[in-house]
Structure 1
Amino acid sequence: MVGLAAAFGSGAMTNSIEEFENTDLILVTGSNTKEMHPVISSYMKRGVKKGKTKLIVVDPRKTELAEFAEVWLRQKPGTDVAWLNGMMNVIIAEGLYDKEYVANRTEGFEELKKAVAAYTPERVEEISGIPKDDLIAAARLYAKAPAASIAYAMGITQHINGTEAVKSVANLAMLCGNIGIEGGGVNPLRGQNNVQGACDMGALPNVFPAYQTVTSPEIREKFAKAWGVKDLPAKAGLTIVEAVNAASEGKLKALFVMGENPMVSDPDLHHVKDGLTKLDFLVVQDIFLTETAALADVVLPAACFAEKEGTFSNTERRVQLVRKAVDPPGDALPDWQIICGISKRMGYPMDYPDAEAVFDEITKVTPSYAGMDYHRLANGGLQWPCPTKEHPGTKVLHKDKFVRGKGLFSAIEWIPPAESPDAEYPFMLITGRVLYQYHTGTMTRKSIGLNERYPECLIEINSRDAANMGIQDMDDIRLVTRRGSITAKAKIADVVEKGMVFVPFHFAEAAANNLTIAALDPLAKIPEYKVCAVRVEKAAG
């Protein structure tokens, strides 16, 4: 992603959550915000209700948020690059782009213009299914807004061209001068609590904290000195899917899984189980005995959020201090104490008196956190970058210039998904979340109230498809892909289009990821969770 991580905060929002309520326009794509991020969606809905904010929603499902939209575009899954290029085609052809911004703050415009010229509204309609007049209306609405924000989530990223789709989102925002202004921005909505913080701390295979690359000799020397060691590896590590592949091939012998449940969350679960069971040694550190922990040689009980001190960094880059409310049960310990204990036994002593001491070290090696301390975080937190003790934190990124200097336009071509419907597997499967469950259900499925609202996996199917197949509401149906099958109850609704089915991935007993494909984005190495070909059958009996 040339220039992208530096330009757009490595997955963090360029702007702030509160701005959604007061901006002129929000384009939401790849995000069922009302169910995935209900608090954030409340800001969006308030803006619309006040008459201040116009909303464009791009989603293959007719979600509740679409009811608030001025324009709802129902695209075929996996066609995001095409319709984004189509919007830019209209904006450039009609001269609606911000010419001064493009001239002064960006580069690569001519290459972008040439690339999107082929994506006429007529061609985009053929690719995406979005009516050309609707695409034109959305493009004009976005381009003419004084300040327009783009909010997206994993519906954009979890494709084999997810990186290219994010670049396309950045292209559209820069084209209309919407980076570096209040109410604008490129605003990815993180999928789990503290995903942003984990990435900030270097929980990625190719970077140290603050996205400082492991391939840089200067950076390695900096961290080697800070940590009191001679050498640090210069080679990037493996992503989750790559690690599972290596385990399956016998190349990876041991794995430490911390706060993750790949036996529900990762694609092609039969392959995941094969890899994990072939390991010589599997350790899982978690607060409950998850489906993954059940396969482990050793399970380390960890403290939950309310049982420890520390910080969380949220999707708007806000670092927030949490205080321990209750003691952890039994032998459970905070994560940092477990890691320190293991490190000490392996010959590298990590001696910290408390979590605050860990954070003090973080600020010394993480420039974007350098101005923070527990005292400053006590009153609602600070948004990075916060480089000095006098700095107030940063509400809006890239106000005057991008980290790389000028914003770089990228000429992107659309490619189809790794797997499309055919005669044997005629339906398109999409996966996602529901309001009343969370991620792999490790915590929420232990809540009586939440399980009363959404107790089991429901497969959404269009009413016309159901009628053609003789399927009644709440009948058991079976979904089959080239990788596996699941059986669950049918939920007949025109939320999904004809020829499409939707499955939430929270339910281990009907795990959507038994069906999904492990095809990877070649750059970000993210699996194509969101789309694959599937067959629908009435379940026997």
Structure 2
Amino acid sequence: MTNSFDELADADCIFIIGSNTTVAHPLVATRLYQAKAKGAKILVADPRKIQMALFADVAVRQRLGSDVALLNGMMHVIVKNGWHNQAFIEERTEGFEDFLKVIEQFPPERASELSEVAVDDIVRMAEYYAKAQNGSIVYCMGITQHTTGVDNVKSLANLAMLCGHIGRPSTGVNPLRGQNNVQGACDMGGLPNVYPGYQAVTVPEIKEKFEKAWNATLSANVGLTVVEMVNGIEEGKVKAMVVLGENPLVSDPNAGHVRHALEQLEFLCVIDIFPTPTTQLAHVVLPGASYAEKEGTFTNSERRVQRVRQAIDPVGDARPDWQIIRDLSNRVGYPMKYGSAEEIYEEIRQLTPSYAGITYERIEGEGLCWPCPTTDHPGTPYLHKDRFARGKGLFHAIDYREPAEIPDAAYPFWLTTGRSYAHYHTGTLTRVSAHLDREMREVLLEMHPEDAGAYGVKDGDMVRVSSRRGTVTAKVQVTDRIGKGVLFMPFHFAESAANVLTNAALDPVCKIPEYKVCAVKVEKAA
């Protein structure tokens, strides 16, 4: 996030796109409600009629995969009406002329045709956001999990820069991370192209810095993403795998292909705190410790580094992940001597400039937001105050591209996936809770009333849903939350895994799979 959670409550316009905030980030949603109570305009763009749409000043359901068209249409309206911030554009950005050439091709009528959002709604959203004093954008994986995910994010950055809604409190472009420490995992180099602190593996000086610190020879090549690892197994490039706190048989796209690949591994080790479908394939399962059984830090969506303190001893043979990784490393020939989580964190501070000033002592209590380069620095609640990291912000000329797979005669429905209010991710934790399981015990496939009528389906009927990759059985929930011709399915349920159906087509830049769009057909089950 460029800004902090609390700042959202003081924005006077909040544009929520691709984020079912009340379900996936309920504490963030409280700030959105606070802003609404203070008079903020709330704009919602989501293919489903989510809870936040009930409180919105404008709520639209765009066609799946049409985010770039919708955003370009809004920006066309803003420029045409002179609502853009010309002073900010001239002082702090570049690339505006090339950007304008593309935006000119998206009058609201064309944007409406591509996105299926009414022209009047496109104009109203553009006006509310552009004329706000402090406009904030909130998005989540409904924006990123597309083959155009990078285009979508760049388009949101274009919108913020066009109106000067960045670099100030209660503005910005604010992605909500999908899990509690995803930001921290990325900060620590949990990406194939960077070391901790987003320091590129391809830069010789950076590579030498980490080789010296770790007393090891490191590769200058970019590694593989998760989907590329799975493909690499079948290509003979990946022979062994350690899976830590992840359940790819339920969470990864085209799950049938994932199973087939993992079964070919010479060695699969899974570290987790509960049995999962993935642990069933493992040669070795090592019991990890839960958050309450270990020390360390988490970094949340607003870049806030916070202490994790051990509350109870690890249960049974469970051990903290860092100890398991240390001992595995020692046994395969690379010695690690770490004696505590704090010792590891001190190494992080030495090698990661944005964390350098954040000590254990300083994060007693509420924690600090990076970048925090020195021990007397107060932390950074919002980014880009006076300049962007690259100097001037770069407008990108983004044209519209269709999703990798669209409905046709054989597979006439759009399918999108997401979370339910009762469960989390692959259900490894929530489905062993009796209270949460009672709330939602099986997958419910949302289907529009007109589609249900056409197929002779009613509430509670079982249907088979098939894509080009597989078939699952699900119980129908007839609802107008979803548009005609579109189906929604939560992905928490291994026995009816939505990701058996989803498409593993990748964004060409960041290699994220297209979880949010695929084509399916429906048949009433016997």
Under TM normalisation by the shorter chain, which class is it?
A: over 0.9
Runs of 4+ in 1 over 4 A off after TM superposition: none
Shift of 1:50: 3.0
State the partner residue of 1:129: 116
Letter in 1 for 2:29: S
Residue 21 of structure 2, aligned match among 13, 28, 33: 33
1:399-434 per-residue CA deviation (whole Å, 9 max, x = no partner) reads 000010000000001100111111111110010001
| Cα distance in 2, alignment partners of residues 519 and 348 from structure 1 | 36
Q: 1:103 aligns with which of 71, 87, 90?
A: 90
- Establish whether residue 400 from structure 1 lines up as the match of residue 383 from structure 2: no
Match of 1:421 in 2: 407
Q: Say whether 1:150 aligns with 2:137.
A: yes
Partner SS for 1:337: helix
DSSP 3-state at the match of 2:101: helix
Could you say which residue in structure 2 is the equivalent of 1:159? 146
**Structure 2 residue corresponding to 1:73, chosen from 56, 60, 67:** 60
Residue number in structure 2 paired with 1:252: 238
User: 1:199 maps to what in 2?
Assistant: 186
Matched, 1:88 2:75: yes
Alignment of 1:345-360 (within 5 A): 345-360=331-346
1:47 Cα offset (Å): 1.4
What corresponds to 1:23 in structure 2?
A: 11
Distance 1:272 1:193 in 2: 25
Task: Report deviation, 1:123.
Answer: 0.4
C-alpha separation between the residues in 2 aligned to 1:497 and 1:345? 55
Shift of the alpha carbon at 1:110?
A: 0.5
SS, match of residue 197 in structure 2: helix
- Structure 1, unmatched stretches of 5+, are 1-12
The alpha-carbon deviation at position 74 of structure 1 amounts to 1.2
Structure 1 residue matching 2:415: 3-state secondary structure: strand
Q: Provide the rounded CA distance (Å) in 2 between the counterparts of 1:452 and 1:65.
A: 25
Instruction: Output the CA distance in 2 between the equivalents of 1:403 and 1:500.
Output: 40
Corresponding residue of 2:507: 521
Alignment pair present for 1:389 and 2:384? no
Partner of 1:432: 418
Using the alignment, how far apart are the partners of 1:248 and 1:311 within structure 2? 36
SS at match of 1:490: strand
Alignment of 1:272-311 (within 5 A): 272-311=258-297
Could you tell me how far 1:331 is from its partner in structure 2? 1.2
- Partner letter of residue 377 of structure 2? H
Counterpart-to-counterpart distance in 2, 1:365 and 1:159 = 33
**CA distance in 2 between partners of 1:85 and 1:472 (Å):** 39
- Aligned-residue identity in percent: 57
**What is the letter of the counterpart of residue 81 of structure 2?**
E
How far did 1:346 drift?
A: 1.8
Count of residue pairs brought into register by the alignment: 526
Letter aligned with residue 328 of structure 2? I
State the match for 2:174 in structure 1.
187
Secondary structure class of the residue paired with 2:504: coil
Report the Cα offset of residue 142 of structure 1: 0.5
Distance between the aligned counterparts of 2:441 and 2:356, measured in 1? 45
Give the superposition deviation at 1:279.
0.8
TM-score, structure 1 normalization: 0.96
Letter in 2 for 1:157: T
Query: Whole-Å Cα distance in 1 between the matches of residues 379 and 237 of structure 2?
Result: 44
Kept after mapping to 2: 8 A contact 1:250/1:278? no
Please report how far the alpha carbon of residue 249 of structure 1 lies from its aligned counterpart in structure 2 after TM superposition.
2.3
Which string of whole-angstrom CA distances, capped at 9 and with x for unpartnered residues, describes residues 493-520 of structure 1? 0000111110000000000000001100
What amino acid is the match of 2:113?
A: E
| 1:336 equivalent in alignment to 2:328 | no
* 1:500 counterpart = 2:486: yes
Deviation at 1:351, TM superposition (A): 1.4
How far, CA to CA, are the matches of 1:202 and 1:224 in structure 2? 15
Amino acid at match of 1:113: L
User: C-alpha deviations, 1:160-209, integer Å up to 9, x for none?
Assistant: 01001100000000000011010100000000110000000001111000
Runs (5+) with no aligned partner, structure 2:
none
CA distance in 2, matches of 1:455, 1:32: 21
Letter in 1 for 2:18: G
Cα separation, 1, equivalents of 2:313 and 2:443: 34
Deviations 1:256-298 (A, max 9, x none): 1111110000000111011101111111111111111110111
Q: Which amino acid aligns with 1:163?
A: V
CA contact (8 A) 1:250 1:279 kept: no
Matches within 5 A, 1:221-240: 221-229=208-216, 231-240=217-226
Instruction: Tell me, in whole angstroms, the C-alpha distance in 1 between the residues paired with 2:56 and 2:410.
Output: 36
- CA deviation string 1:7-57 (max 9, x = no partner): xxxxxx000000111111100001100101011011101211232x11000
Question: 1:483 maps to what in 2?
Answer: 469
Deviation at 1:238, TM superposition (A): 0.4
- 1:25 touches 1:142 (CA, 8 Å); kept in 2? yes
Residue 46 of structure 1 pairs with residue 44 of structure 2:
no
**Helix, strand or coil: the match of 1:519?**
strand
The residue number in structure 1 matching 2:444 is: 458
Q: Which residue of 2 aligns with 1:446?
A: 432
